[in-house]
Amino acid sequence: IRRAAQAGIKVIVCTSTDDEDNVIEEIALEEGVDFFRGSLINKLKRWADCAHTFGVKEFHTIDADDPFFDTDQMLASMQKLREEHLDMVSPTESSSKGGASVGYSLTTSIIDKALESIPDDTDTEMMWYYLEKIDGIRVAQLEEEVMEELNVRLTLDFPEDYWMLESIRRILGNSATRNEINEFLKRNPDFYKVNWFRNQEWKAAQLSKSI
């Protein structure tokens, strides 16, 4: 919430109605930002209901388990969506591989269209699977700003991911930019090994959910 707000980005916390997410509502209230609670398993419906509640026609979504997202890339993604009149802008290749620097920019109308063909109780955690099946969808991938390849896993699924993220937070601070993180990793070329080995397991789990 604070990372996005510091960049001047309008924040809406979108979580589920499950009791376990009560704490997320409490955090949103403490931080003074809007929030919405909807379907637990149908992420697309939750997003659509949230967007309609707040009159949002297009938005960028960031998962809370990607705490070091790049606000510059978020803004670039939204700019691409608007200027090229797209329905969806997908993350950069490195972000999708575990770098977790940027999410998806989407129009509310394309979410509504995806929901027309699926029951309300569908598990849409792997949301791109349902969106990419839409005939005629206008989609593009956000280009990489830094062409050099950096092995880095900055999403949170395993204990080693927490150690990695917490280590970076303690060394560079909560508001470290992606450039600062990249420079740190270049100076410490073995640091990525803390959790990089988990990437294959993570990718396999994502694939199984989308099949």
pLDDT in tens, 60-106: 999 999 999 999 999 999 999 999 999 999 999 999 889 999 999 99
pLDDT in tens, 153-195: 999 999 999 999 999 999 999 999 999 999 999 999 999 999 9
**How much is the pLDDT for 148?**
56
Q: For residues 211 and 45, which has the higher predicted lDDT (pLDDT)?
A: 45
Q: Is 198 helix (H, G, I), strand (E, B) or coil?
A: helix
Residues in the chain: 211
**How much is the pLDDT for 172?**
97
DSSP state, residue 158 = S
Report the distance separating Cα 103 and Cα 180, nearest Å: 20
Report the distance separating Cα 13 and Cα 36, nearest Å: 6
Residue 46's CB is within 10 A of a number of other CB atoms, namely 21
Which among 168, 88, 173 is positioned nearest to 136, based on CA atoms? 88
Report the distance separating Cα 119 and Cα 41, nearest Å: 11
**How much is the pLDDT for 144?**
87
Contact between 90 and 100 (Cβ < 8 Å): no
Tell me the percentage of the chain whose pLDDT exceeds 90. 84
Contact between 67 and 120 (Cβ < 8 Å): no
Report the distance separating Cα 117 and Cα 110, nearest Å: 12
Report the distance separating Cα 175 and Cα 86, nearest Å: 31
pLDDT in tens, 116-158: 999 999 999 999 999 999 999 999 999 987 655 678 999 999 9
